[in-house]
Amino acid sequence: TPLSVIAGYSELLLMGSYGEMSGEQTETIGDIKTAAKDLDKLIRQLIDQTNLQDGKLSLKQKPFALQDLVERCASAQVLAENKGLAFDIDVDVNLPLEMHGDIDRLAQILHNLMSNAIKFTRAGGLIKVQLMRTSDTTWSMSVQDSGVGIAPQALNAIFEPFYQLAQENLPDSRRGHGLGLAFVKDLTEVMGGEIQVESTPGAGSTFTASLPLLNAKEPVP
């Protein structure tokens, strides 16, 4: 896409491929690269959200290794640690090592929840990711943070498209577009699951996506 081209050339400039730049130029090009990537992400989210609402988003159900899903958390761990956050991943030993589902979409749910947690947690806080078996037929992916928390009256609204918490509750200067949690909810429901949130203002939040457990070694219903 054109945005990918902009981001690509920005990266080349930052690498010095077209000559040395001043500190101010480097900072400006970095901002351009970040803005291009953010806009590209927004467009992809809008497309996915539209396809979900129109029933056109198809899941690629196939066997995958649980470890591969865990490894998809690595980029979020780097972001968290760069912000000064502790990051912990807990995987239930009772989960099958091989599962059945759309690993890319599962990772997308996790990524949105982890990104949200990182955004709303100040340096020195904790992000905890848990993959748990909750019954013979269900499992869950949860992301817990020690961030600013969510007011009780906003707990339902946060899953509405384009809803944003008040600016004063966001410690970072950058804000999202209010699509991440709406997409997580819709995608989780398409997978036959549900999303839940528990939060205490000033103490943090826990988002949990509960999903049907499909073992790769068992017939898919």
State the pLDDT confidence band at 133, using cuts at 50, 70 and 90.
very high
For position 220, what pLDDT does the model report? 47
How much is the mean pLDDT over the chain?
A: 84
pLDDT in tens, 31-77: 887 777 667 666 677 676 676 677 777 888 999 999 999 999 988 99
For position 160, what pLDDT does the model report? 83
Q: Residue 114 in contact with residue 153, Cβ under 8 Å?
A: no
User: Who's near 151: CB < 8 A, 6+ residues apart?
Assistant: 201
Whether 219 has a pLDDT exceeding 70, the answer reads: no
Q: What are phi and psi of 22, to 5 degrees?
A: -75, 170
Q: Which residues pair with 139 in a beta bridge?
A: 133, 211
